[in-house]
Amino acid sequence: MTLIDLANPTRFLALSARVLPWLAAATVILLTIGLYQSASAPDDYQQGATVKIMFIHVPNAWLSMFVWGVMSVASLGTLVWRHPLADVAAKAAAPIGAAFTFLALLTGSLWGRPMWGTYWEWDARLTSVLILFLMYLGLMALWRAVEDPSRAARAAAVLTLVGAINLPIIKFSVDWWNTLHQPASVMRMGGSTLDKSFLIPLLVMAVAFTLLFVTLHLAAMRNEILRRRVRSLQMMQASRVAFSSEVGTGSREENASKGAA
């Protein structure tokens, strides 16, 4: 099966129905392992037990950017190749990305209060992630505001690609500006600075949350395809009703004119 075959929504529905149970099972297994490893990880010499918040904060923060990246690729598919599933993928990813970004902000705040002494600081990293969250909400509002999905898709694709400028700003904000947020400690030149006892649970949780995203995204894409089928069938039904009422009115007028003659 090629990628072009997958562009057919019916084939996509059939294939995703086969893949989803396996993905869901893999997600549950990895999340269980990740949570166990997080619980049994040692305390950090500076952060103490609050280091455990990092095992959910960091994967959510990565995914907040990764999901926007997925939406940007899908938006290119909408604008350049007019791929049939591209705008379905972009629309389905937005609420999931918003949820991950919300969790990144919330867990970051809950870690910040005991460690920094404050829930919130208007520094470059925190503010740029807040902007990302607001852009997710704006994108979801745009999808809801425009009734025709194909028109909404083009507008949303442009907004998504413009919003992608925020991704390098978020990533490099800790290097470009003097921020309270610590610099990158996992994905950096020269390797990770984390000890294995923290790095392994973190990576397991990151893979588990990524699998969770893939599972939810595929399921949400299926729902979006079905929603569009409902819409097109409802339009077909409405046009049939309008046509039959027109025919009914026409034959009544014809009978009336015959009677008058």
Partner 1 sequence: MSLGPYASFIVTSYAAAAIVVAILIGWVVFDYRNQTQRLRELGRSGVTRRSGRSAVDTPRTMT
Residues forming contacts to partner 1 in the complex (CB under 8 A) are 10, 13-14, 17-18, 20, 39-40, 43, 48-50, 52-53, 56-57, 60, 95-96, 99, 102-103, 106-107, 110-111, 113-114, 212, 216, 219-220, 222-223, 226-227, 229-230, 233-234, 236-237, 240
DSSP state, residue 119: S
Choose between 206 and 216: whose C-beta lies nearer to partner 1.
Answer: 216
Shortest Å, Cβ 32 to partner 1: 13
| Signed CA dihedral, 62, 210, 15, 5: sign only | positive
- Of 98, 177, 183, the C-alpha closest to 137 is 98
Distance CA 53, CA 110 (A): 8
Shortest Å, Cβ 50 to partner 1: 5
Shortest Å, Cβ 217 to partner 1: 9
Shortest Å, Cβ 123 to partner 1: 20
Choose between 233 and 256: whose C-beta lies nearer to partner 1.
Answer: 233
Shortest Å, Cβ 158 to partner 1: 26
- The secondary structure of the chain in percent helix, strand, coil, rounded to multiples of 5, reads 80, 0, 20
Shortest Å, Cβ 137 to partner 1: 15
φ and ψ at residue 158, rounded to 5 degrees = -65, -45
Choose between 83 and 217: whose C-beta lies nearer to partner 1.
Answer: 217
Instruction: Count CA atoms closer than 13 A to 134's CA, side-chain side.
Output: 7
Q: How crowded is residue 127: how many other Cβ atoms within 10 Å of its Cβ? A: 16
Distance CA 115, CA 119 (A): 9
Choose between 65 and 220: whose C-beta lies nearer to partner 1.
Answer: 220
How buried is residue 65: exposed, middle or buried, by Cβ count under 10 Å (0-12/13-18/19+)?
Answer: buried
Shortest Å, Cβ 168 to partner 1: 26
Choose between 193 and 234: whose C-beta lies nearer to partner 1.
Answer: 234
Choose between 125 and 222: whose C-beta lies nearer to partner 1.
Answer: 222
Coil, helix or strand at residue 48: strand
| Signed CA dihedral, 190, 193, 196, 202: sign only | negative
DSSP state, residue 148: S
Choose between 111 and 135: whose C-beta lies nearer to partner 1.
Answer: 111
